[in-house]
Amino acid sequence: MAGEFRAPTSKNRLSKKFSNRIGSTTRARSKSSGFRVILAISILSLLMFSFSFVSMARASQTVVTTIPVGAGPFAVAYDSGMGEVFVANSENNTVSVISDVSNTVVATVNLGGFWPLAVAYDSGMGEVFVANSAGPFAGDSVKVISDVSNTVVATIPVGTFPVAVAYDSGTGEIFVTNSQDDTVSVISDLSNTVVATIPVGTYPAGAAYDGVMREVFVTNQFSSSVSVISDASNTVVATVNVGSGPFGVGYDRGIEDVFVANSNNGTVSVISDLSNTVAAIVKVGAHPLAVAYDSGVREVFVTDLGSTVRVISDATVSLAVSASPSILSITRGTSTNVTVTLTSMNHFSGIVSLTATIAPMTPKSPSLALSATSLTVSSGGTATSMLKISTAHSPQGDGAYVISVTATSSSVLHTITINLSVTKT
């Protein structure tokens, strides 16, 4: 991303604490500066969402009340058990508890730390988990608030600068992204202790739980990838390459896909949770950041730094693209075939063009050839093309390659990747 955004200091006191530079994903491995990038993006994301959503979501909706809370309200979670809303106030280290009946603050919970940045409601225990970035001296932690007493009942040490929290209802665990440790802490809500620490990509920023596949999807902002964690084993079972600077992530229960906002290249990657591959790429505004799914109308809301919220109908995710196998190894001097399959979704039908490219592209790279570059897909049907990968005609370079297959039509742009290894024997 080119350019620099500076929040008005008169309106956003956090700008006095943190740098607001939002730049490329070139990684200057400074712990403090890395956090400032993530925090600045998070702040802007939430501000854009809160200010833009009301004006565009429904023409008949208006602001019915304004509720004063603490300084720098940053994250929010709804407690369905008590009918209350928990708001993390990042500048005065408190959580405001709002009754959704009276629309008033009924409690203020002092956290005793710094920078509460994320909130998640645990319906199993009736508790609220707040990521609390206290810094190197006080120690970063997750605060656990009882929604009965509205008091802190536990403090759980986690990794450095936790910035996102996701509740896993399947195992009763909370997944916390530690942005500067490149890890995820897994907390048991029975013992309120960390039961696992999972290495992921660089600067994990967002997290979302997929209840169908029992997996947690974590965006790695500086790795341009998403780590897929199985909640059964608490290990990374897949790494999905997405666009540049992935940040916000949301799970769409309607089509069982995961939507990832790529903050640096103006796209949303749609990941199929069945194959853990990118099934679609949706072009949105310049700087998409946060993602939320609305199950009532089957739409995905994506915030944008251009003071807008983009609304994506999940019916537009109309074509699934897959490759079998998607990971393979071949010996120098041989060739092999990969089956590329297009599957109609949401009654899609039309002509789809296929292209294939390889990286790195050198005179010694394997050659690619598709048996069909134009396929007709009928509603509810499938179509296939064979991708021939050959190293047979000239001395080829050994090593690792990434093959990208792109499917395009008037309304669809999908890219999937195939990981190839070429060996001497």
Q: Which two tokens stand for residue 303?
A: 């915030």
In this predicted structure, what is the pLDDT of residue 27? 38
Tens-digit pLDDT profile for residues 181-195: 999 999 999 999 999
Indicate whether 248 pLDDT > 80: yes
Tens-digit pLDDT profile for residues 59-86: 456 778 889 999 988 888 999 999 999 9
Q: Give the separation between CA 118 and CA 167, rounded to whole angstroms.
A: 12
pLDDT band at 174 (very low <50, low <70, confident <90, very high): very high
In this predicted structure, what is the pLDDT of residue 173? 97
In this predicted structure, what is the pLDDT of residue 194? 98
Weakest-pLDDT range from 69-78, 163-172, 174-183, 310-319? 310-319
Weakest-pLDDT range from 34-48, 163-177, 200-214, 333-347? 34-48
Higher-confidence position of 284 and 383:
383
Weakest-pLDDT range from 158-162, 318-322, 388-392, 394-398? 394-398
Is the omega angle on the peptide bond into residue 68 within 30 degrees of 0, that is, cis?
no
In this predicted structure, what is the pLDDT of residue 60? 53
Weakest-pLDDT range from 33-42, 133-142, 209-218, 269-278? 33-42
Indicate whether 226 pLDDT > 60: yes
CB proximity list for 109: less than 8 A, separation 6 or greater = 94, 95, 96, 97, 145, 150, 151, 152
**Average pLDDT rounded to a whole number, residues 160-165:** 94
User: What's the Cα-to-Cα distance from 307 to each of 56, 287, 290, rounded to whole Å?
Assistant: 11, 10, 13
Percent with pLDDT over 90 in the chain: 52
In this predicted structure, what is the pLDDT of residue 30? 43
pLDDT band at 295 (very low <50, low <70, confident <90, very high): confident
In this predicted structure, what is the pLDDT of residue 316? 67
In this predicted structure, what is the pLDDT of residue 64? 83
In this predicted structure, what is the pLDDT of residue 38? 47
Q: Give the separation between CA 218 and CA 236, rounded to whole angstroms.
A: 10
In this predicted structure, what is the pLDDT of residue 136? 59
Tens-digit pLDDT profile for residues 97-138: 999 999 999 999 998 777 898 999 999 999 999 998 876 566
pLDDT band at 338 (very low <50, low <70, confident <90, very high): very high
Contact criterion met (CB below 8 Å) for 268 and 291: yes
Indicate whether 346 pLDDT > 60: yes
Weakest-pLDDT range from 144-158, 217-231, 340-354? 340-354
Highest mean pLDDT, choosing among 15-19, 318-322, 402-406: 402-406
Higher-confidence position of 243 and 317:
243
Q: Give the separation between CA 233 and CA 239, rounded to whole angstroms.
A: 16
Weakest-pLDDT range from 21-25, 174-178, 217-221, 257-261? 21-25
Instruction: Output the average pLDDT for the chain.
Output: 82
Q: The dihedral of CA 92, 263, 260, 411: what is its sign? A: positive
Indicate whether 163 pLDDT > 90: yes
**Average pLDDT rounded to a whole number, residues 365-374:** 95
Percent with pLDDT over 70 in the chain: 82
Higher-confidence position of 310 and 154:
154
Residue 121: beta bridge partners? 128
